[in-house]
Amino acid sequence: MSLLELHGLKKTYGPVTALAGVDLSVASGSRTAIVGPSGCGKTTLLRLIAGFETPDSGSIMLDDKPLANGAGAVPAHLRGIGLVAQDGALFPHLSIAENIGFGLGRHAAGRNERITELAYTVGLDSALLKRRPHQLSGGQQQRVALARALAMRPRLMLLDEPFSALDTGLRASMRKAVAELLETAGIATVLVTHDQAEALSFADQVAVMREGSFSQVGTPRELYLKPRDRMVAEFLGEALVLPAMIVDGFAETTLGRLPLDGSGERPALARVMLRPEQVMLEIRPATEAADPQAGALYGEVVESEFAGATSTVAVRLINSPDSPEAAAIANTPLVLRKSGIEAPAVGEIVRIRTIGTAHVLAAG
């Protein structure tokens, strides 16, 4: 069932169009991640949903009730929506307990018990409750911000880059803990992030934003394997984009004849995408490339740059498949990112194989 529905949301600031018409549907209890380059409108969208800004036009519906639809807007504190901002936005002069209990009535029955329970829920030691925000680490402050938002028992939680201040290890464990916590509580979440891996692992729906509107919305798998265009493809990971001639439902490329996945338009000349993990490099003796097996494709490694977990490897094709399109670009090295420990060294001869299907990208 749909909890949040956005239709045609627009917002300008003077000459700047922050949102150019956004449509989105968020199901109850689900997780949506919004990714996109800096300045594309992500924070503006969250602020509109939370009620800190009003749209110029379009509508925001929560549970089929309008929160904003041109005629008027429900104030932020009556929306039942939690927002955790990038910096946590804690009140510096209040204790941690007072921060968490900010939205609870000062004299509400069971206030202290509720604060202790919320601290426990987000994994904060109760010994920290008397401290001020500046006496906590960045990760602990984020937990306080989350506890404060949870105190209002929201149906929808908006997270604006809440993990960005944390280091890699803590970031992953916090993300997992928050996802589990929100899921257990049945709270739908919209997460804004710059980090594509975070978006793909956190969400069951990912929306890629560009210049104030969504380029594509879908499951993580759909967006990763079937991106609409090159921008979406490259935003969500490394992409090998190859010019191709589409013949009989196959793509003739510099890597040979590749089967296509089942969707999308198929112009005669197109660009197709493979993910680097679909390209296998197998080190072979140079003599084999001099006398290639029929249909086999060989290359020479011309660059290999080690960067820990991954290495960037550039391969120049030695023999190219027999198609005009492939021959035209055979001299352009293929650049792949490979597992650092498996990456071949400069000068090595590799046999190149591809697995899976290629995906046709829309022009543009």
Ligand X SMILES: Nc1ncnc2c1ncn2[C@@H]1O[C@H](COP(=O)(O)OP(=O)(O)OP(=O)(O)O)[C@@H](O)[C@H]1O
Q: What is the smallest separation between the CB atom of 209 and ligand X, expressed in angstroms?
A: 7
Residue 42 interacts with ligand X (CB under 6 A)?
yes
Alpha helices in 19-88 (DSSP H): 42-50
Q: Is 195 exposed, middle or buried (0-12, 13-18, 19+ CB in 10 A)?
A: middle
The smaller minimum CB distance to ligand X, of residues 68 and 97, is found at 68
Return d(Cα 103, Cα 77) in angstroms, integer: 9
Return d(Cα 238, Cα 224) in angstroms, integer: 10
Q: What is the smallest separation between the CB atom of 22 and ligand X, expressed in angstroms?
A: 11
Instruction: Let me know: does 113 contact 90? Beta carbons within 8 Å.
Output: no
Instruction: Let me know: does 231 contact 196? Beta carbons within 8 Å.
Output: no
Fill in the amino acid letter for 136: L
Instruction: Let me know: does 92 contact 77? Beta carbons within 8 Å.
Output: no
Return d(Cα 263, Cα 216) in angstroms, integer: 15
Binds ligand X (CB under 6 A): choice among 3, 6, 9, 18:
18
Q: Using the rule CB under 6 A, give the single segment among 12-20, 66-74, 262-270, 326-334 that binds ligand X.
A: 12-20
Residues in contact with ligand X, counted by CB under 6 A, come to a total of 11
Residues 6+ apart with CB under 8 A from 268: 245, 246
Binds ligand X (CB under 6 A): choice among 40, 207, 274, 352:
40
Q: What is the smallest separation between the CB atom of 129 and ligand X, expressed in angstroms?
A: 31
Q: What is the smallest separation between the CB atom of 229 and ligand X, expressed in angstroms?
A: 19
The smaller minimum CB distance to ligand X, of residues 165 and 335, is found at 165
The smaller minimum CB distance to ligand X, of residues 13 and 91, is found at 13
Q: Using the rule CB under 6 A, give the single segment among 39-47, 102-110, 120-128, 285-293 that binds ligand X.
A: 39-47
Q: What is the smallest separation between the CB atom of 44 and ligand X, expressed in angstroms?
A: 3
Contact set for ligand X, span 187-216 (CB under 6 A): none
The smaller minimum CB distance to ligand X, of residues 3 and 19, is found at 19
The smaller minimum CB distance to ligand X, of residues 38 and 168, is found at 38
Binds ligand X (CB under 6 A): choice among 4, 22, 33, 43:
43
Q: Which of 154, 1, 191, 193 is nearest to 67 (CA)?
A: 154
Q: What is the smallest separation between the CB atom of 15 and ligand X, expressed in angstroms?
A: 9
Helix-, strand-, coil-residue percentages of the chain, each rounded to 5: 25, 35, 35
The smaller minimum CB distance to ligand X, of residues 40 and 84, is found at 40
Using CB under 6 A as the criterion, what x/- string covers residues 19-38 for binding ligand X?
A: -----------------x-x
Q: What is the smallest separation between the CB atom of 215 and ligand X, expressed in angstroms?
A: 13
Q: Which two tokens stand for residue 284?
A: 């072979």
Binds ligand X (CB under 6 A): choice among 4, 24, 31, 44:
44
Alpha helices in 10-154 (DSSP H): 42-50, 96-100, 111-121, 138-150
The smaller minimum CB distance to ligand X, of residues 53 and 300, is found at 53
Q: What is the smallest separation between the CB atom of 199 and ligand X, expressed in angstroms?
A: 13
Q: What is the smallest separation between the CB atom of 162 and ligand X, expressed in angstroms?
A: 13
Q: Which of 158, 233, 156 is nearest to 196 (CA)?
A: 233
Residue 204 to residues 37, 190, 207, 220, Cα–Cα distance (Å): 20, 11, 10, 6
Q: Which two tokens stand for residue 109?
A: 């029955």
Hey, which residues does 359 pair with through a beta bridge?
273
Residues that bind ligand X (CB under 6 A): 13, 16, 18, 36, 38-44
